[in-house]
């Protein structure tokens, strides 16, 4: 006993479970193996739920989906060697999208590290470029501290994945344990409070601006700043566009909503970025899929960039006014400053600008023509109508992802889960499982392509085993659709290796897994099928046979300016 604190000696596996409970972990997605058998033996003695995936990539994506839907840190547990390497794609996807994960990997005993032992890999070295931080635990005395640090790093500042590598002999050994209340890292101090000197500069720019716009990204959602963003936009009467990761940060039903900005963004959002005289970027990276040709992006505008990560500011686009700080905290400060300003004249000053946006919206809307064959846009719009916009939507990657972003209108944050930065096919199904576990009372739908769904289709077994009633809407066009679209436009319709020959019968495949399979081949079958699927309290695959060569438009060709859109 030291100063009134009782210190007990515990095995490493028990220390791990204690700290997980202290961190509020209620679910782990994982797959057992030799190096982590001791952990699993202890895990089943706790009330922490374990979801057994069928592939470790699925564990990482499911933890990612859980984190995005819940706002908590997602956790996965895998064995050494191939178990660890199979998580790398999921870790990289979470890293690029700033998603808080803690990934526990087993490792061979410390005496065998470096000896090419069975199922040994240097997972710390492999994941160093795609984790926020990682650890190889080398002393049992450090275990509790390292786990606490891992969760702190994952959720604080700009969130991200942290990996903890656990040698088998270490977790079998014992050490004295006492709870760690506070984590302090001398070299890591995220800036949450914005500079008081910079905020008045933003107010001054807002008051001078005639054509302002706000560009919201995933950082708004991660910081829980959606309410503050809506108040800010309405105060200054500035229209709002979002990146793919920022969908849901601002209500799509609000009159100030412009839609998604970028390669497949709306005409009004892309044109607004070119014609605005002030762009306020909040929690965005200004990545290449948004900016197009950088020298032509927002060329008439002063640019304010608010982000908690100082390395993101002026990384891709030079900005006029940088503000390092948490999005929510910064918006609260700006709203407070705006509250003391006379903004009555702004509505009148902004009218010509807002009228121009209304004209763009009416003359160049997102559009398609529903004919004899089912159009994929029609499926997404019908899904939106039936769910009343209340579902959590996950996606795979490709055309399905873009149609979901364009035609399912998100009013709430944490409702659109997609692999944005990495563009990882196979993300949607395991992410939907994670989201459904996090939000059991919500409808969760994975909008997928017939190519991408097969990347992690084995997770249907996970959904069935744990009775996780996710719904999968496959936009089945018999192609790797987005690649085919590029080949159509830029490779003289040479569809090299993009036709999905010998695709499975998805209805029979669903039934083989013990799920429900439904199919629609005509437009009039779409709405009844969706209603039927949503009423079933089991995993369901909906197989929609859609127009084979339908494209995603608008589209900005690679290397073009964001205003150089192909509209048909």
Tokens of 338: 């705006």
From the candidates 56, 396, 459, 550, give the one annotated as an active-site residue: 56
Cβ(498)–Cβ(485) below 8 Å: no
CA distances from 31 to 62, 80, 181, 453, 551 (A): 12, 11, 30, 21, 38
Burial label for 415, CB within 10 Å (0-12, 13-18, 19+), is buried
Peptide bond into 504 cis (omega under 30): no
Q: Is 410 a catalytic residue?
A: no
Strand partners, 216: 242, 282
> What is the C-alpha to C-alpha distance for residues 401 and 423, in angstroms, rounded to an integer?
9
Q: What angle do the packed helices 428-438 and 56-70 form, to 10 degrees?
A: 50
Q: Number of helices and strands (H, E) in the chain?
A: 22, 20
From the candidates 402, 482, 542, 565, give the one annotated as an active-site residue: 482
Cβ(279)–Cβ(304) below 8 Å: yes
From the candidates 49, 118, 193, 522, give the one annotated as an active-site residue: 118
> What is the C-alpha to C-alpha distance for residues 274 and 565, in angstroms, rounded to an integer?
12
Q: Is 454 a catalytic residue?
A: no
From the candidates 18, 22, 119, 332, give the one annotated as an active-site residue: 119
CA distances from 291 to 214, 264, 466, 556, 564 (A): 14, 11, 42, 10, 12
Helix (H) or strand (E) holding 355: helix 344-363
Q: Is 466 a catalytic residue?
A: no
Cβ(41)–Cβ(66) below 8 Å: no
Tokens of 426: 């196979």
> What is the C-alpha to C-alpha distance for residues 402 and 376, in angstroms, rounded to an integer?
11
Strands 8-11 and 174-177 turn out to be antiparallel
200 Cβ partners below 8 Å, 6+ apart?
337
Q: Is 499 a catalytic residue?
A: no
From the candidates 132, 148, 168, 471, give the one annotated as an active-site residue: 168
Q: Is 119 a catalytic residue?
A: yes
DSSP for residue 194: P
**Catalytic residue ranges:** 56, 118-119, 168, 482
């Amino acid at each position: 006993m030291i100063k009134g604190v009782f210190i007990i000696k515990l095995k490493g596996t028990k220390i791990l479970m204690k700290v997980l409970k202290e961190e509020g972990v209620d679910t782990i997605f994982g797959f057992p193996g030799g190096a982590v058998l001791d952990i699993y033996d202890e895990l089943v003695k706790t009330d922490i739920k374990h979801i057994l995936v069928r592939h470790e990539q699925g564990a990482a994506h499911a933890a990612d989906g859980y984190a995005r839907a819940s706002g908590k840190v997602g956790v996965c547990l895998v064995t050494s060697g191939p178990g660890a390497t199979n998580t790398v794609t999921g870790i990289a996807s979470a890293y690029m999208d700033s998603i808080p994960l803690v990934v526990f990997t087993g490792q061979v005993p410390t005496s065998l590290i470096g000896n090419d032992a069975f199922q040994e890999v240097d997972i710390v070295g492999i994941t160093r470029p795609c984790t926020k931080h990682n650890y190889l635990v080398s002393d049992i005395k450090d275990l509790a501290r390292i786990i606490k640090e891992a969760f702190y790093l994952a959720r604080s500042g700009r969130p991200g994945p942290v990996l903890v590598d656990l040698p088998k002999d270490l977790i079998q050994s014992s050490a004295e344990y006492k709870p760690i209340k506070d984590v302090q890292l001398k070299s890591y101090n995220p800036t949450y409070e914005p500079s008081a000197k910079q905020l008045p500069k933003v107010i001054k720019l807002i008051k001078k601006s005639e054509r302002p716009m706000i560009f919201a990204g995933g950082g708004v959602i991660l910081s829980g700043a959606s309410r503050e963003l809506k108040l800010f936009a309405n105060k200054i009467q500035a229209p709002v566009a979002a990146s793919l990761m920022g969908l849901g940060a601002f209500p799509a039903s609000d009159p100030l909503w412009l839609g998604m900005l970028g390669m497949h963004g709306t005409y009004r959002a892309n044109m607004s970025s070119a014609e605005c005289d002030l762009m306020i970027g909040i929690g965005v990276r200004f990545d290449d899929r948004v900016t197009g040709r950088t020298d032509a992006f927002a060329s008439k505008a002063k640019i304010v960039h608010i982000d908690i990560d100082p390395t993101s500011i002026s990384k891709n686009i030079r900005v006029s006014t940088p503000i390092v700080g948490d999005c929510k905290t910064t918006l609260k400060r700006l709203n407070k400053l705006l509250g003391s300003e006379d903004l009555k004249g702004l509505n009148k000053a902004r009218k010509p600008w807002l009228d121009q946006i209304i004209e763009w919206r009416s003359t160049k809307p997102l559009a398609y023509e529903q004919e004899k064959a089912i159009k994929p846009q029609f499926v997404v719009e019908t899904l939106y109508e039936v769910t009343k916009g209340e579902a959590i939507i996950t996606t795979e990657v490709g055309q399905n992802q873009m149609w979901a972003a364009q035609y399912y209108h998100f009013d709430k944050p944490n409702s659109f889960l997609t692999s944005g930065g990495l563009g990882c096919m196979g993300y949607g199904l395991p992410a939907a499982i994670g989201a459904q576990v996090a939000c059991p009372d919500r409808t969760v739908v994975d909008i997928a392509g017939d190519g991408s769904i097969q990347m992690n289709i084995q997770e249907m077994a996970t959904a069935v085993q744990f009775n996780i009633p996710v719904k999968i809407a496959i936009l089945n066009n018999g192609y790797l659709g987005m690649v085919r679209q590029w080949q159509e436009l830029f490779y003289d319709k040479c569809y090299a290796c993009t036709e999905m020959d010998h695709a499975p019968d998805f209805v029979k495949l669903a039934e083989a897994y013990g799920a429900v399979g439904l199919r629609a081949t005509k437009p009039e079958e779409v709405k009844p099928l969706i209603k039927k699927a949503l009423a079933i309290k089991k995993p369901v695959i909906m197989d929609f046979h859609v127009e084979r060569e339908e494209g995603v438009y608008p589209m900005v060709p690679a290397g073009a300016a964001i205003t150089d859109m192909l509209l048909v």
